[in-house]
Structure 1
Amino acid sequence: MSGIYIHIPFCKQACHYCDFHFSTSLKKKSELVSALQKELILRKNELPDEPIQTIYFGGGTPSLLNLQELNAIFKTIYAEFNIAENPEITLEANPDDLAEEKINELANSKINRLSIGVQSFFEEDLKLMNRAHNAEEALQSIKLARSKFDNISVDLIYGIPGMNNERWQENIQILLDLDIPHISSYALTVEPNTALQKFIEKGKVKPVDDAAAAQHFEILRTTLKNAGFEHYEFSNYGKPGYFSQNNTAYWLGKPYLGIGPSAHSYDGNSRKWNIGNNTLYIKAIEKSELPLEIEELSTTDCYNEYIMTRLRTHFGVDLKEIETKFGEKYVKYLKEQSVVLFQKELLKIENNVMHITEKGTFLSDGIAADLFYID
């Protein structure tokens, strides 16, 4: 199972918390689309010779692409790659882009899954984050999308300064009332050199409250579990049949090809990433040069990544698989390092597979770090 990720590095405006690569100038959008097509051709032999199961348009804001631009990219993908019969094809979209005409266009394209970046249904939260949409657009975009798409995911952010438990619960309930089958939810993180960090430093915005975020996480997990969702990865909840195939493949260590500025690729042995500069990316691709860096992964790198990704998921860490993939010394090390975590009831084991307990879920990244092998 392989996937293709397409990075669309454009946004209408900069969200205060975001540190992803993007540009608020759309002047080079047409050139960028042409460069994406050419990069796809240049790198068509990098994936295993097997059908592509997932195609994911991330960003940035992929919903800024028009139908002609999307179809141009699809034309290249289908001409150069072996695509599975029914691939999952996801487009990340912002609510302010999803007017009825846009929804109809997308429904008539190859896109069969929408990931809508709502983040909150409350004006004060959206303004604090500098989102381009308002609360009404958030609600209406989902209703319109629901009329044309069955497979929809919605993003919510918790731990926003000023957000109380009641407001957070209402955000979740709105999605349940709309019968959304997949929800991705993330704690607000203060990244370096973002507007949010500067506002907090200047006292214009209250600091993020980790205790409040932990409460929001528990409310989310409990509410969605009671509503029939499975918490299949730390930040992702899905009803049966609606888990993200793209994300699942990533957590299972499947190869993927990342196309576009700042996009990452992985083949099981190495990781590659493109330059995070639109102009330099376009110039290089026009000259048939690949503006990327490569990191060859050691056995220890692969083991540590396995621990990180698997502990975040319901798949867990399979001791037999670790022995097969990485060797006996890693199994021995893992068992030694996990003793204290079992004593603290942060880990459990069943059928030779380690899982994080409910008590440890909010601490999953720290637990994984404790199990990393240090050469």
Structure 2
Amino acid sequence: MAGLYIHIPFCASRCIYCGFYSTTAVASQDRYTDALCREMQMQKDYLLKALNATPHMELSTIYLGGGTPSQLSGENLEKLFDTIYNKVYQDQLPVSATAEVTIECNPDDITPQFASILSSLPVNRVSMGVQTFSDERLKFLRRRHSAREVDQAIGRLRQAGIGNISIDLMFGFPQETMADWRIDLQQALSLEVEHISAYSLMYEEGTVLYRLQQEKRVRETDEETSLAMYNLLIDELTAHGFEHYEISNFARPGFRSRHNSSYWQAVSYLGLGASAHSYNGYSRQWNVADIRQYIEAIERGVLPAEIETLDADTQYNDRIATALRTREGIDLSVLEKPYQTYLEELAIPHIWRGHLVLKDGCLALSRSGIFISDSIMADLMKV
């Protein structure tokens, strides 16, 4: 199995919290799509050379992320999928018949026309950035959609035959109360979606939100309130049948995000587009985070990427930072004996404190450990 990630950086406007590479230069989307198709051809052997490649390897997940992939025209979406299915990966690395094919969308982009376009594509999963059901908080984030448009979007996606819908939520807004957050969770549950991702509002350096915080125009939610909101998130969603399978992710049975789960399980993936990252088991590479430089380099037949070869310590640290986020945790048997011994020794104090659990050969975070996961991971890494 292997994954394909395609970065679509176009946004009609920028949200104040977003730290991902994006651009409002939507006029260049035709040229960018052509560059993506050309990069696909240039890198068609990347996954076949992966450390865990097998003779009958298939693309098991395809993910269009951003940015806002729903800003692409129907013609450009069709061109991308035609290139994937009919021009690049049809022979040595075909797309699995059961592949998870995800596109990220904004609720206001899900018009009847766009839903019809999706129904004609191989897309079978939609990840939608809802964030909150408060129009006031949406305005604060500079989101384009209203709370009312979320219901409309869900209905249109269902009519288009999309049976796997994920929504993103945020908590910890300035002055948000526990009652406010409970209402958001109740609204989310009423949508009857298959997957929910929820994140504390982050103040990333370089974002508008970070600048507002530095200028003391907004105040970050205190740690105690943020923790209480996270506890409420877990309690509410698990009580309604969701599986808490990763720190920030909850799924109905059978609806885990297979693409993101592949990241956490160190499955090889190819990233296409400006700022996209790739991993093949022994190296990482990442494209330049500039759409103009990306397009011009691809048009010259040059891959605008930096490459890092991963030594054994880095691979171990990567596994700590990814697998430990999941409900199952780290399977100690996949580690070479010296690293397994190293990890077991460092884990002992956290096991005694009840923050880690060792069961059936797997080391995982307990619920209390989730709250301090960053510090636990730092303790377990090679330095």
Letter matched to residue 339 of structure 1:
I
Aligned to 2:3: 3
Selected match of 2:305 from 253, 272, 292: 292
Q: Tell me the CA shift for residue 200 of structure 1.
A: 1.5
| Contact preservation (8 Å) 1:4, 1:56 | yes
Q: Tell me the CA shift for residue 344 of structure 1.
A: 1.4
Which structure 1 residue ranges, 5 or more long, are not aligned?
none
CA distance in 1, matches of 2:141, 2:227: 20
Query: More displaced, 232-241 or 206-215?
Result: 206-215
Matched, 1:143 2:155: yes
What is the SS of the residue equivalent to 1:33?
A: helix
Aligned to 1:152: 165
Query: More displaced, 55-64 or 156-165?
Result: 156-165
CA distance in 2, matches of 1:100, 1:367: 47
Query: Alpha-carbon deviations, 1:155-193, whole Å to 9, x = none?
Result: 001111121111111111112112111001111110002
Q: Tell me the CA shift for residue 122 of structure 1.
A: 0.2
| Contact preservation (8 Å) 1:311, 1:355 | yes
Q: Tell me the CA shift for residue 264 of structure 1.
A: 0.1
CA distance in 2, matches of 1:32, 1:22: 13
CA distance in 1, matches of 2:304, 2:221: 37
CA distance in 2, matches of 1:162, 1:147: 37
TM-score, with length taken from structure 1: 0.96
Matched, 1:361 2:370: yes
Query: Alpha-carbon deviations, 1:285-331, whole Å to 9, x = none?
Result: 00110000000001111111111111110121122221xxxx22212
CA distance in 2, matches of 1:281, 1:259: 10
Matched, 1:341 2:350: yes
Aligned to 1:32: 32
Query: More displaced, 247-256 or 138-147?
Result: 138-147
Aligned to 2:224: 211
Matched, 1:235 2:244: no
Aligned to 1:196: 209
Aligned to 1:263: 276
Superposed counterparts of 1:75-90, under 5 Å: 75-78=82-85, 79-81=87-89, 82-90=94-102
Aligned Cα RMSD in Å? 1.2
| Contact preservation (8 Å) 2:268, 2:281 | yes
Aligned to 1:56: 63
Matched, 1:100 2:100: no
Selected match of 2:180 from 167, 175, 181: 167
**% identical aligned pairs:** 39
Letter matched to residue 357 of structure 1:
S
Aligned to 2:52: none
TM-score, with length taken from structure 2: 0.94
CA distance in 2, matches of 1:308, 1:200: 28
CA distance in 2, matches of 1:24, 1:211: 37
Aligned to 1:277: 290
| Contact preservation (8 Å) 2:171, 2:201 | yes
Query: More displaced, 62-71 or 43-52?
Result: 43-52
Aligned to 1:305: 318
Matched, 1:13 2:21: no
CA distance in 2, matches of 1:94, 1:210: 30
| Contact preservation (8 Å) 1:5, 1:56 | yes
Which structure 2 residue ranges, 5 or more long, are not aligned?
49-54
CA distance in 2, matches of 1:86, 1:370: 39
Query: Alpha-carbon deviations, 1:107-157, whole Å to 9, x = none?
Result: 221111000000001012111111111221223222322333110000001
Letter matched to residue 40 of structure 1:
M
Letter matched to residue 372 of structure 2:
L
Matched, 1:124 2:136: yes
| Contact preservation (8 Å) 1:143, 1:178 | no
What is the SS of the residue equivalent to 2:371?
A: helix
Letter matched to residue 80 of structure 1:
V
Query: Size of the alignment, in residue pairs?
Result: 370
Q: Tell me the CA shift for residue 71 of structure 1.
A: 0.7
CA distance in 2, matches of 1:227, 1:60: 31
Letter matched to residue 88 of structure 2:
E
What is the SS of the residue equivalent to 1:13?
A: coil
Query: Alpha-carbon deviations, 1:78-116, whole Å to 9, x = none?
Result: 121111112111000001101222112212211110000
Q: Tell me the CA shift for residue 351 of structure 1.
A: 1.2
